[in-house]
Amino acid sequence: MPVVYESEPQSDCDRIVEPAYCGPVVTSAPTKRTPATRSTVALKYSMAVSGLIMIGYLLLHMYGNLKVFAGQEAFDEYAHHLRTFGEPMLPYEGLLWIVRVVLLAAILVHIYAVVVLTIRNRRAAGYAGGKRYHSKQNRTGIQRSYASFTLRWGGVVILAFIVYHLLHLTAQVVTPGGASDSPYDRVVNGFEIWYVTVGYTVAMLAVGLHLWHGIWSALTSLGGNRSATRIDSRLTGIAVVVTLVIVIGFLLPPWAIFLGLEA
Amino acid sequence: MKITVNIWRQKDADAKGSMVTYPLESVDEHMSFLEMLDVLNEKLTIDGEDPVAFDSDCREGICGTCGVVINGIPHGPEVTTTCQLHMRTFKDGDTIDIEPWRAGAFPVVKDLVVDRGSFDRIIQAGGYISAPTGAAVEANNIPVPKADADHAFEAATCIGCGACVAACPNGSAMLFTASKITHLGLLPQGQPERDSRVLGMVEQHDAEGFGGCTNIGECTAACPKGIPLDVISRLNRDLLGALSRQAVGS
């Protein structure tokens, strides 16, 4: 331990005759750290994983929908089999409830992460006088995609659609075209009406925009990108392909029904 | 050439700023952007007005001191620093909007000058290697693959100007933080502190109030040094690795 004598200069203030600035250096930002497990990056991990779980579900859901082309018997049998899947190891509707719980958890995690990050990001952007930049030039940035602008509100649209969708085809609270015990009939009754088909189309386009940026973003958040720009990345290609598969796959049954082309 | 500049004027950190318009005549197309501001400031000084405060140092694009948002884009329309932008980029009669970097973690000090101390504190939280002092060791003692050396160098060209934060709609400093993670993480000398570096720097990044990355790539597009976007994915991988090693306690 070095011995410090009281007569020794204790700071620049004692040492220099006329210091330009005396006292502690005050920096502008508070630096109380929270653990990296609760960082913005960790929130992005949870956002990515929950999103990818939902995309996995969408692909399975889309596969099931396409069964409509195999006819009423095959479609209704598929729907029934989902309830008996895994019996007797699982109870009746066991798999369905597992999927429902996992999806609900994924949605809640996804929404929690987006709310926390959005509030944080808005503060971090440093608005002055209600705007970030007052310049009216280049309002849409340098290269960002339209899809990236629609992520947050597009997500709200999708959530509203999911609620309607469950009320329509699962709970049968809203029954355009008439209710039925046959899932096939429910689907056909609904999509024979033009506004139902148009509504579902709009919702699917919202999903498409969400996935266009979302899939790329999720894979990048998990550390997958190895390209210098977003456009060059292989992940952008993956995102576009998966998005197109999901959007087209989901739109085929309603439009086939609307145009009277189903089996 | 004749131009009009709209400049953010703010007396001090606590003052409420606003855009102020100044007409400028006889601007030479060979002037750098900062020289144009110098000319404006000479005029303001002669007129007894407060000159526009802005940061600059080397004026050759290597120090990272200068930087303003020009027409909504950090460092303006060319991929370079503000000091290396020339008035020939603009046309006679143009109106140019000049604003400071906007970020919660970059408070405005005056006019176009912001406090970027938050960047220093992120570096202090792990953006270095601990090396014993003494004579320099033989450079070829530790072989480094050429591709790694090149990519590390690419990341090391970050001058810490802050354009990435100013361009990011979320005010995130991920590109800055990740360029240092990549620079040191790719080299053998950076390995011993690789986990503590990413943990410390990400924690400090958040503590400074920077936002989260949404992977839109505006940072890379605005970066005068062209830091590639994949550095952010590398940071994400490093943090994932560090957190899982921390969780299993190794």
pLDDT, one tens digit per residue, over A141-187 is 999 999 999 999 999 999 999 999 999 999 999 999 999 999 999 99
Question: What is chain A's alpha carbon radius of gyration, rounded to the nearest angstrom?
Answer: 27
How far apart are alpha carbons B230 and A216 in whole angstroms?
Answer: 12
A19 φ/ψ sector (left φ>0, alpha ψ -120 to 50, else beta): beta
Which conformational region is residue B226 in: left (phi greater than 0), alpha (psi within -120 to 50 degrees), or beta?
A: left
Region A233-254: what's the mean pLDDT?
97
Closest CB to A225: pick one of B69, B106, B233. Answer: B233
Tell me the pairing of strands B108-110 and B113-114: antiparallel
Contact B174, B205 (CB under 8 A): yes
- The model's pTM: 0.91
Probe site for chain B from A34, A37, A121 (most B CB atoms < 10 A): A121
Q: What is the DSSP string of A52-120?
A: HHHHHHHHHHHHHHHGGGG-HHHHHHHHHHHHHTTTTTS-TTHHHHHHHHHHHHHHHHHHHHHHHHHHH
Per-residue pLDDT, A3: 46
- B124 and B233 in a common domain: yes
| Residue range of the domain that includes B190 | 116-248
pLDDT higher than 70, residue A12? no
Q: Looking at residues B147-167, what average pLDDT do you find? A: 97
pLDDT band at B250 (very low <50, low <70, confident <90, very high): low
Q: What distance lies between CA B1 and its chain's CA centroid?
A: 30
Amino acid at A35: P
Average pLDDT, chain A: 90
Among A126, A221, A226, beta carbon nearest to B103: A126
> Would you state the pLDDT for residue B15?
94
Q: Which residue of A has its CA nearest to B246?
A: A37
Shared domain for B145 and B159, answered yes or no, is yes
8 A C-beta contact, residue A211 and residue A55: yes
CB count within 10 Å of CB B146 equals 8
List of residues 6+ apart from B51 with CB closer than 8 A: B40, B41, B44, B45
Same domain, B151 and B235: yes
What average pLDDT score do residues B50-55 get? Answer: 98
B192 and B99, same structural domain? no
Closest listed residue to residue B17, CA positions, set B106, B95, B111: B111
List the 213-252 stretch of A: residues with Cβ below 8 A of B. Answer: 213, 216-217, 220-230, 233
CATH number for the domain harbouring residue B139:
1.10.1060.10
Residues B49 and B139 in one domain: no
Measure A57 CA to nearest chain B CA, in Å: 23
User: Of B76, B110, B144, which closes a domain?
Assistant: B110
Q: Is A225 within 8 Å of A183 (Cβ atoms)? A: no
The model's confidence at residue A129, banded by pLDDT at 50, 70 and 90, is: confident
**Co-location of B145 and B74 in the same domain:** no
User: From B99, which residue of chain A is nearest by alpha-carbon distance?
Assistant: A133
Tell me how far apart the alpha carbons of residues A177 and A195 are, in angstroms, rounded to a whole number: 11
Q: Total structural domains in chain B? A: 2
| Residues 141-160 (A) with a CB less than 8 A from some CB of B | 141-145, 148, 151
Please tell me whether residues B86 and B137 are part of one structural domain: no
Question: Are the beta carbons of A125 and B104 separated by less than 8 Å?
Answer: yes
- pLDDT tens track for A104-113: 999 999 999 9
Last residue in a domain, options B110, B134, B149: B110
The full set of domain ranges for chain A reads 37-120+147-258
Taking only the tens place, the pLDDT of each residue in B95-136 is 999 999 999 999 999 999 999 999 999 999 999 999 878 888
Q: What percent of chain B has pLDDT over 70?
A: 100
Domain final position from B86, B110, B134: B110
Report the alpha-carbon distance of residue A241 to residue A245 in Å, rounded. 6
Query: Cβ of A34 under 8 Å from any chain B Cβ?
Result: yes
| Contact A46/B at CB under 8 A | no
Complex ipTM tops 0.90: yes
Output the pLDDT for position A32: 79
A–B CB contacts, 8 A cutoff, strictly below: 205
Identify the CATH number of the domain in which residue B83 sits: 3.10.20.30
Same domain, B204 and B135: yes
Q: pLDDT at position A215, please?
A: 98
Residue with tokens 């590398």: B234
B158 and B93: one domain? no
pLDDT tens string A40-86: 999 999 999 999 999 999 999 999 999 999 999 999 999 999 999 99
Distance CA B212, CA A179 (A): 46
Q: Are residues B23 and B94 in the same domain?
A: yes
Torsion sign over Cα B189, B190, B194, B196: positive
Residues in chain B: 250
Those of residues 125-154 in B touching chain A at CB distance below 8 A are: none
Q: Please measure the distance between the N-terminal and C-terminal CA atoms of chain B and give it in whole angstroms.
A: 65
Judge: B207–A120 Cβ closer than 8 Å, yes or no: no
Judged by CB atoms closer than 8 Å, whether chains meet at A137 and B72 is answered as yes
> Other C-beta atoms within 10 Å of A19: how many?
12
Identify the band that residue B222 occupies on the pLDDT scale cut at 50, 70 and 90: very high
- CA B41, CA B49: separation in Å to the nearest integer? 9
Residues in a beta bridge with B98: B7, B70
- Name the burial class of residue A101, with classes exposed (0-12), middle (13-18) and buried (19+) by CB atoms within 10 angstroms of its CB: exposed
Check: CB of residue B60 under 8 Å from CB of residue A124. Answer: no
The verdict on B105 and B126 lying in the same domain is: no
- The verdict on B97 and B130 lying in the same domain is no
